[in-house]
Chains A and B, each alone.
Chain A
Amino acid sequence: MVRKTRVVLVDDHSLVRSGVRNEIGGRLDVVGEAADVAEAITRIRDTKPDVVLLDVHLPGGTGDAVIVAVHAVLPDVRFLALSVSDAPDDVIRVIRAGARGYVTKSIDGDELATAVERVAAGDAVFSPRLAGFVLDAFTGEAAAAPPTTELDVLTPRERDVLQLIARGYTYKEAAEELFLSVKTIETHVSAVLRKLQLSNRRELSRWVSERRLLP
């Protein structure tokens, strides 16, 4: 990569921001920080970063509000959710709003930098927990709700990939395990992300509607 990926950090805790900046500052270019929804929107519009690292809960709104507002004017800015939350409705909500992935704050600096670069390149980033949520949503009520479109089902390959991620495998390890290239794994994960964002499966809608913030 010729230039470093440009990143904006959005988190209401300044300690978290400075910690993350320290950890990824070597590999990435942190061009701005913001502590609430309004500040985040202005800062992102001003700096036009490649990737925004976004906390799910913010003063003055939630992460998905930032994504929706920014994507209205800058559709190319990519978002990676970074949160302590374990709640599926939190996670699924930012993903449905357009985030390209979700990692927890316990991730180490190198892994986080890799995740940001991956998102900058247009791929998706799934933590084990997010993979678990997806498997839950797409298989939990398989018998109860017959799929209506191809968006509502995972292909067997996609299931294999997600299962390995949920088991704690990196993309590279999963690729070796399935005798695939890392690129193919990334393609599968991106396809799953798309389904996650567009599918109308009841479980997904329920997680989102629980907080009544998205239709």
Chain B
Amino acid sequence: MAITYLEAIREAQAKLLAEDSRVFIYGQDVGGFGGAFKATKGLAQEFPGRVLDSPISEDAQMGVAIGAALEGMRPIVEMQFADFSTCGLTQIVNHAATMFWRTNTPCPIVVRLPSGGTAGGGPFHSQSMEALYAHYPGLIVMTPATVEDAYTMLLEAVAIDDPVIFCEHKYLYYHLKADALPTVALPAGKARIARQGRDATIVTYSAMVHESIACAEELATEGWEVEVVDLRSVKPMDTDTILASVARTGRLLAVGEAFPWGGVTAEIITRVATEAFHLLDAPPMRLNAKDTPVPYHPNLWGTHRPTARAIAAAMRTLLHT
């Protein structure tokens, strides 16, 4: 019986609500309606008073979470779209992220962001915000790419005493399925070798992991074996695994769905260039979305962000350099 990425997130929340009385969920339309993406479907009914509808007030949603966390709760805030989290940016980066460092009191909140693009989503329903939050000290940023990680990393996020920005990918919600929920998991902060390779390394995260694997399969028919590293969490970033992979292959392509300037891919390449320059047999490359807002029309959207075909083209250049 297949379980989708979205169902895994719902199962994780159900488990948390059942086993930890400190957990509650707060967000727009999460109660009776079950959430815009149905991530909390049935949970308000199953756990009365624990899954609450908020007004359209991302700032206040975050403030509530912070205050509740100070009092010992473990709140989960569902933002309806990652793109709207900027309305609560002040509370996230200036309040929650600074709380422990300033007051020595931990702030154990989880903010779930439905992230990434789908056809027709347009500029305000498609963004990937991980670089923005990773930039601020005091936050942990998770980007699960698999059904299994969506489940176990959400459980871990709630257990962590610090604020976690949990970037779920909207496209993966219903398009990604697994056979069963896992019983073991890599801890957050560890990257996963999604595909072993020999000739080059792709370091990426979230939906781009699947695009990269598809690219690797295409290149395999041409005799290349490409290694794909799934970061799983963008901050902390598992630099050791990245360097070990580059040590094996000598070539690096960093791929991300987000905007290019100063993004996760820039951080990956900076770390490799500064700590493992001597491992590179070719200049490192990166591939991101274009430096424009996310377009609406599927024709434009299809080219705006990296696809398996685009990643393969970049790869061929890297392999022949």
Q: Do chains A and B stick together as partners? A: no
